[in-house]
């Protein structure tokens, strides 16, 4: 099938032709007629399969000219980066269409966004927090919304936007079309569907939690943070293989430390983005990464959903995320558009169990290899890895009413429970064996 086989007008077809896009992806093919029918829809597809165009094309096809000031289409996404990405895609599709659209998100001037919304829009793309700011302030009238799109809804739940989403759904008119897209379908998302959607048509181009077939997945047991740094440096020295690398870490502190370490050993090959960086800095970093000005981008999960990146050869999980769905989203940054990609994960003893949960979600095993003998095992530790020192106990006189005697102590010992761990945990421990601590230690 080609886009010309869909019920698209010549304005949209001309825009697609100019972009050199001729063939719709499976999710785009299957979603088109459902959205055109005005039925509620749930689309489950992995990152990189064309979800944005899957809802934008039928919405733009149906959108008619209107001088009405208040938006008729509302697209809600979890991050400001994703707002910028969706706005960019609307721009690409509408050079020959008279349509008004804008994006709003936190961290920018609220008054300017009020003025933009008040001037009149057909499509509004927004993050949940800023959207509610505008709605509750009375600037944004939600009663004219005809179509609601919630994109990356599982990530919104992970970021704590559940209450804002429910408030928003209560404020919207009852008569509307609901369109939801996600890479995974969690129990929280199912609860949202049960409460607010009307017999939605479910389209699933890949089973929930399954990775793209184009991604090779590997994992290595690595004992601590600085040994992971040594291993990463060793990999990145192979510039012919590791051409465009996205490195995920669990928090801003780790991201900054890792960036400083790479700057010291491999200067000027990397950059770092996280929520503490300004919006302009983050957009500029992504742009420079796309242009090849540096080959490594270090990012946290909160940024992951807004990254519109192409030709990423490797995703490296510097740590394994606790939530298995986050792993799916991370590795989905490579192997896009039917290209091949590689996902490499470093895991310590604690993170081994997280890998087991990921395998259960994907219904697929991850290949585990031993760390090469050439990698130095570091004795340096970051704060989180330092052994906790128990405070010294102060001796105090025993109160007269405290139980004592052999009978009490015998009963206390009898009632003490032992945590031997479940069979599942033991099986995981067998597979993901404890990282080695061999070799010369780095001071």
Q: What is the pLDDT of residues 5-60, one digit of tens each?
A: 999 999 999 999 999 998 998 999 999 999 999 999 999 877 677 889 999 999 99
426 pLDDT above the threshold of 60: no
Taking residues 382-404, report their average pLDDT: 64
pLDDT score for 98 = 94
pLDDT score for 31 = 95
| Among candidate residues 56, 102, 103, 101, the one with its CA nearest the CA of residue 79 | 103
Q: Are 144 and 70 in contact (CB under 8 A)?
A: yes
What is the number of other CB atoms lying within 10 angstroms of the CB of residue 37?
11
Start-end of CATH 3.40.50.300 domains in the chain: 3-204, 215-384
What is the number of other CB atoms lying within 10 angstroms of the CB of residue 113?
21
pLDDT score for 54 = 95
210 pLDDT above the threshold of 80: no
Taking residues 167-177, report their average pLDDT: 93
Burial 292-303 (b: 16+ CB within 10 A, else e): eeebbbbbbbbb
The alpha carbon of residue 431 and the mean position of all alpha carbons in its chain are separated, in whole angstroms, by 27
In the three-class reduction of DSSP (H, G, I as helix; E, B as strand; rest coil), residue 222 is classed as coil
| Among candidate residues 91, 155, 82, the one with its CA nearest the CA of residue 123 | 91
pLDDT score for 394 = 56
pLDDT score for 397 = 54
User: Of the given ranges (178-187, 226-235, 238-247), which has the lowest mean pLDDT?
Assistant: 178-187
pLDDT classification of 86: cutoffs 50, 70, 90: very high
pLDDT classification of 389: cutoffs 50, 70, 90: low
421 pLDDT above the threshold of 70: no
Structure tokens at 417: 């429970």
246 vs 333, more confident? 246
Q: Are 300 and 253 in contact (CB under 8 A)?
A: no
441 pLDDT above the threshold of 50: no
407 pLDDT above the threshold of 70: no
pLDDT score for 161 = 85
Q: H-type helices in 268-323, by residue range?
A: 279-291, 301-304
3-204, CATH topology level: Rossmann fold (3.40.50)
232 pLDDT above the threshold of 90: yes
212 pLDDT above the threshold of 70: no
Q: What sign results for the dihedral spanned by CA atoms 369, 375, 376, 378? A: negative
Close Cβ partners of 363 (under 8 Å, ≥ 6 residues apart): 207, 209, 210
Distance CA 375, CA 377 (A): 6
User: Of the given ranges (136-150, 204-218, 358-372), which has the lowest mean pLDDT?
Assistant: 204-218
Taking residues 176-199, report their average pLDDT: 86
Taking residues 271-287, report their average pLDDT: 85
Q: What value, to the nearest 5°, has the Cα angle with vertex 117 and ends 12 and 60?
A: 15
What is the number of other CB atoms lying within 10 angstroms of the CB of residue 355?
23
Strand partners, 247: 298, 316
User: Of the given ranges (169-173, 204-208, 280-284, 299-303), which has the lowest mean pLDDT?
Assistant: 204-208
pLDDT score for 294 = 95
**CATH number, span 215-384:** 3.40.50.300
pLDDT classification of 274: cutoffs 50, 70, 90: confident
> What value does the mean pLDDT of the chain take?
85
pLDDT score for 37 = 96
Strand partners, 147: 73, 177
Best-predicted range by mean pLDDT (185-189, 190-194, 277-281, 398-402): 190-194
The torsion angles phi and psi of 42, rounded to 5 degrees, stand at -125, 120
Taking residues 85-108, report their average pLDDT: 94
User: Of the given ranges (47-61, 145-159, 323-337, 419-433), which has the lowest mean pLDDT?
Assistant: 419-433
């Amino acid at each position: 099938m080609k886009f010309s086989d869909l019920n698209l007008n010549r304005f949209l077809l001309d825009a697609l032709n100019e972009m050199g896009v001729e063939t719709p992806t499976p999710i785009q093919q299957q979603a088109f007629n459902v959205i055109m029918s005005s039925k509620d829809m749930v689309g489950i597809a992995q990152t990189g399969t064309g979800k944005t165009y899957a809802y934008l094309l039928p919405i733009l096809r149906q959108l008619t000219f209107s001088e009405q000031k208040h938006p008729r289409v509302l697209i809600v996404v979890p991050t400001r980066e994703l707002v910028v990405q969706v706005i960019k895609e609307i721009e690409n599709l509408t050079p020959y269409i008279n349509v008004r659209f804008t994006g709003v998100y936190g961290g920018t001037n609220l008054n300017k966004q009020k003025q933009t919304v008040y001037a009149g829009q057909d499509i509004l793309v927004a993050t949940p927090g800023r959207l509610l700011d505008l709605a509750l302030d009375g600037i944004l009238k939600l009663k004219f919304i005809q179509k609601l799109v919630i994109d990356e809804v599982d990530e919104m739940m992970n970021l704590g936007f559940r209450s804002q989403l429910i408030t928003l759904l209560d404020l919207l008119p009852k008569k509307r079309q609901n369109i939801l897209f996600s890479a995974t379908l969690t129990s929280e998302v199912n609860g949202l569907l049960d409460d607010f959607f009307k017999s939605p048509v479910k389209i699933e181009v890949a089973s929930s939690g399954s990775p793209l077939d184009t991604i090779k997945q590997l994992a290595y047991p690595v004992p601590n943070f600085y040994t992971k740094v040594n291993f990463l440096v060793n990999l990145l020295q192979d510039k012919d293989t590791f051409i465009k690398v996205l490195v995920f870490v669990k928090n801003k502190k780790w991201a900054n430390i890792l960036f400083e370490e790479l700057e010291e050993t491999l200067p000027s090959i990397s950059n770092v983005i996280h929520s503490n960086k300004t919006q302009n800095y983050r957009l500029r970093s992504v742009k420079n990464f796309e242009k090849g000005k540096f080959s490594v981008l270090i990012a946290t999960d909160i940024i992951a959903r807004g990254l519109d990146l192409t030709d990423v050869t490797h995703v490296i999980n510097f740590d394994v995320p606790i939530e298995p769905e986050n792993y799916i989203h991370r590795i989905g940054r490579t192997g896009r558009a039917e290209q091949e990609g590689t996902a490499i994960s470093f895991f310590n003893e604690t993170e081994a169990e997280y890998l087991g949960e990921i395998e259960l979600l994907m219904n697929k095993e991850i290949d585990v290899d031993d760390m090469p003998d050439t990698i130095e095992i570091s004795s340096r530790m970051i704060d989180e890895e330092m052994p906790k020192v128990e405070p010294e106990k102060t001796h105090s006189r025993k109160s007269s009413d405290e139980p004592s005697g052999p009978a009490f102590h015998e009963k206390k010992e009898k009632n003490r429970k032992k945590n031997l761990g479940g069979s599942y945990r033991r099986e995981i421990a067998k597979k993901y064996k404890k990282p080695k601590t061999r070799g010369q230690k780095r001071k």
